Amino acid sequence: MGEKKILVVEDEEKISDLVKAYLEKEGFSVKVANTGQNAISSVKEGFDLIILDLMLPDMDGEDICETIREDSDIPIIMLTAKSEEEDRVKGLGIGADDYVVKPFSPRELVARVKALLRRVQGKKEKSSFNRGNLVIDSSRYEVVKHGEAIVLTSTEFKLLQCLANSPGQVFSRLQLVNVILGYDFEGYDRTIDAHIKNIRHKIEDDPKESQYIKTVYGVGYRFIGQPDED
């Protein structure tokens, strides 16, 4: 994964400087556009994500968003200054993927950027493991094992997708329950174990000799499939 390029559209230099500095510190490459026109002409340069202020001198963030959406589904995080704007962004579905209300902490914004990039990548990506033996197609919610489509429940799919998006990383059962439910609940350990057992039966050749999902005793699970080169 190369360096991600982010376009920051913001007319207030103080804010754009701050956002730029924080993003660059995290390894992103950043370009700032301070007008709507500038933003629209810059989009063609190809960015991975746009941070778009709703209030700009020459154009409304909504219009910019609409114009960009005409020929791009690039992830957009909208910056809004007040709660009425927040309502506008939420209510009108103007095509932003997420929004952050000013004043915001740059750290939080960076976290949102990363989360959105992960989300988008997970959505688009077709990932292949162990020399094509296992293919996870997130856009179609489909898993193909040895060339044959296998059916996972949506919970099983989400768990597998989460694990496989970060090969090698250990996930606790609590983290995994959060992935499938969005919140924690009691008695999760056995629920997760049951789902993992089902996934293994579906994707492993021999569930006892796991090639994909490894149990980390006392903690949780991690994905050990080898990602194939593109």
Q: Contact positions toward Ca ion, by CB under 5 A?
A: 11, 53, 55
In DSSP terms, which residues pair with 142 in a beta bridge? 137
Whether the CB-CB separation of 61 and 69 falls below 8 Å is answered with: no
Shortest separation between residue 61's beta carbon and Ca ion, angstroms: 8
C-alpha distances in Å from residue 19, one per residue of 55, 87, 153, 177, 226: 16, 23, 40, 32, 35
Q: Which is nearer to Ca ion, 57 or 147 (CB)?
A: 57
**Residue keyed to tokens 């340069």:** 45
Shortest separation between residue 3's beta carbon and Ca ion, angstroms: 27
Q: Which is nearer to Ca ion, 53 or 156 (CB)?
A: 53
Q: What is the 3-state secondary structure (H, E, C) of 157-216?
A: HHHHHHHHHCCCCEEEHHHHHHHHHCCCCCCHHHHHHHHHHHHHHHHCCCCCCCCCEEEE
**CB count in 10 Å sphere of residue 126:** 13
Q: Which is nearer to Ca ion, 12 or 189 (CB)?
A: 12
Shortest separation between residue 79's beta carbon and Ca ion, angstroms: 8
Shortest separation between residue 53's beta carbon and Ca ion, angstroms: 4
Q: Which is nearer to Ca ion, 9 or 135 (CB)?
A: 9
Q: Which is nearer to Ca ion, 61 or 75 (CB)?
A: 61
Q: Which is nearer to Ca ion, 33 or 143 (CB)?
A: 33
> Which amino acid would we find at residue 184?
D
DSSP H/E element including 113: helix 106-124
Shortest separation between residue 19's beta carbon and Ca ion, angstroms: 12
- How far, in Å, CA of 16 to CA of 72, rounded? 23
- How far, in Å, CA of 201 to CA of 15, rounded? 51
Shortest separation between residue 57's beta carbon and Ca ion, angstroms: 8
When CB distances to Ca ion are compared, the closest residue is 55
